[in-house]
Amino acid sequence: MNRLSSDRLDATFAALADPTRRAILARLASGEASVAELVEPFAMTQPAISKHLKVLERAGLISRTQDAQRRPRRLEAKPMAEANEWLEKYRQFWEGSFLRLDDLLDEMKGLETKGTNTRGARERAPGSKLGAGNKKRGRARSQGKTQ
Amino acid sequence: MNRLSSDRLDATFAALADPTRRAILARLASGEASVAELVEPFAMTQPAISKHLKVLERAGLISRTQDAQRRPRRLEAKPMAEANEWLEKYRQFWEGSFLRLDDLLDEMKGLETKGTNTRGARERAPGSKLGAGNKKRGRARSQGKTQ
DNA sequence: TAGTTATATAACCTAAAGGTAATATACATC
DNA sequence: GATGTATATTACCTTTAGGTTATATAACTA
């Protein structure tokens, strides 16, 4: 929620957004592997894989050990826990298909009552066509980087 | 696991890798919102937010409805379910902190025995120092995009 | 110590991502 | 039909991502 965890989420999700990197993680799930072993399945040069490994490493998803000239990587899945936590907050939205989304929203709205929504943005009832009362909300443009 | 779901995961994780987009999703979790309402909290222009919305839309994470000139967005969390599923496969790796990771890996290796690893990459027992038998594996450089 | 193997790094290229300002489009209203 | 409001689109810019080839470094081996 704070800036730090937001940055970590950035790095984690970005690392997971590439199929090559996900495949590398899958490979490492079955045991640590050298760079050469990680290169082997891909139609890609070793430096390219080394770059992917660096991305995964900066995201904390893998670590290196040493074994002579080899630098085997191993899986470090903890950042996934944080990504998972973030996703969990939305679980009700994908699991509750038996409820219409509107109902869920209405329900949340009941619990909310200006608790979480600190910025003064107002919701209209879903399905309501009327925009009355929407005019002249303050803009309050903020500065700096998002979140 | 197939190409399609891999592409969807790419799009989903990539969409989630940006803090502005995650904030937009958080906002939409409390009810649908117009573009103007989504712009309001950010130090960013409307076209920039519209671009973010397009990214979220292509990932299937939001949809648009219509209300006069307004085009309110609503949360569509289903793609998160798939991302969640992918992460779940690694849950043991971040939850099993009471076991040393090595133990988990060893355990998996017992169950595995060349079941999943179809490409001929070989594992060495962790801690094994010998690299013999690694020479002259064919490279079989293939074409096209990964996976 | 010369050679070999494993990996990292550098320099470079191209395309995509994330912004901007300016402008076009669609709908509502007077 | 002119005007206002909400959103989309266009043209542009800068930075980053993902790849390449060539080369450097580090550790083992003869």
Amino acid symbol at A61: L
Mean residue pLDDT across chain B: 73
Percentage of the residues of chain A whose pLDDT score is greater than 70: 63
Residue A28, token pair as written in the block:
């490492």
**What phi and psi, each to the nearest 5 degrees, are found at residue A21?**
-70, -40
pLDDT of residue B5: 80
B23 with A144: Cβ contact below 8 A: no
Which of A119, A125, A123, A111 shows the shortest CA–CA distance to A142?
Answer: A119
Same domain for B7 and B71? yes
* Section A9-15 average pLDDT: 98
Q: Which nucleotides of C are covered by protein (CB under 7 A)?
A: 5-11, 17-22, 26-28
* DSSP, res B98: T
Please tell me the distance in Å from B19's CA to the nearest CA on chain A: 7
pLDDT of residue B117: 31
B67 in any annotated domain: yes
pLDDT of residue A96: 72
Alpha helices in A65-131 (DSSP H): 78-88, 91-95, 101-112
Same domain for B58 and B39? yes
Same domain for B37 and B19? yes
Same domain for A72 and A14? yes
Same domain for B9 and B72? yes
Chain Cα centroid distance, residue A117: 22
Please tell me the distance in Å from A89's CA to the nearest CA on chain B: 9
Strand nucleotide closest to residue A36 (CA to C1'):
C6
**Spatial separation of the C-alpha atoms in residues B147 and B34, rounded to whole Å:** 38
Same domain for B98 and B41? no
Residues facing residue A70 across a β-bridge: A67
A123 in any annotated domain: no
Same domain for A73 and A98? no
Same domain for B48 and B98? no
Q: How many helices (H) and strands (E) does chain B have?
A: 7, 2
CATH number at residue B34: 1.10.10.10
Same domain for A40 and A71? yes
Check if residue A51 sits with its Cβ under 7 angstroms from strand D. Answer: yes
B105 in any annotated domain: yes
Q: Name the band, by pLDDT with cuts 50, 70 and 90, for residue B72.
A: very high
Residues facing residue A64 across a β-bridge: A73
B142 in any annotated domain: no
Chain Cα centroid distance, residue B72: 26
Amino acid symbol at B7: D
**What phi and psi, each to the nearest 5 degrees, are found at residue A32?**
-65, 155
Percentage of the residues of chain B whose pLDDT score is greater than 70: 63
Q: Residue A26 above 80 pLDDT?
A: yes
Helix (H, G, I), strand (E, B) or coil at B89: coil
Q: How many domains does chain A divide into? A: 2
A91 in any annotated domain: yes
**Spatial separation of the C-alpha atoms in residues A65 and A74, rounded to whole Å:** 8
Same domain for B72 and B8? yes
Chain B residues in contact with A83 by the CB 8 A cut-off are 87
Of B70-74, B110-114, B115-119, minimum mean pLDDT range: B115-119
Same domain for A71 and A96? no
pLDDT of residue A78: 94
Q: Residue A117 above 80 pLDDT?
A: no
Same domain for A44 and A99? no
H or E element: which one contains B39?
helix B35-39
Q: Residue B70 above 70 pLDDT?
A: yes
* Section B1-14 average pLDDT: 83
pLDDT of residue A80: 97
Q: Name the band, by pLDDT with cuts 50, 70 and 90, for residue B23.
A: very high
Output the distance from B9 CA to D17 C1' rounded to whole Å.
18
Q: Name the band, by pLDDT with cuts 50, 70 and 90, for residue B35.
A: very high
Residue B107's domain comprises 82-111
pLDDT tens digits, A65-116: 999 999 999 999 999 999 999 999 999 998 875 455 555 455 444 433 322 3
**Spatial separation of the C-alpha atoms in residues A88 and A66, rounded to whole Å:** 36
pLDDT of residue B4: 58
Q: Name the band, by pLDDT with cuts 50, 70 and 90, for residue B89.
A: very high
Which of A131, A13, A118 shows the shortest CA–CA distance to B84?
Answer: A13
Residue A21, token pair as written in the block:
């990197």
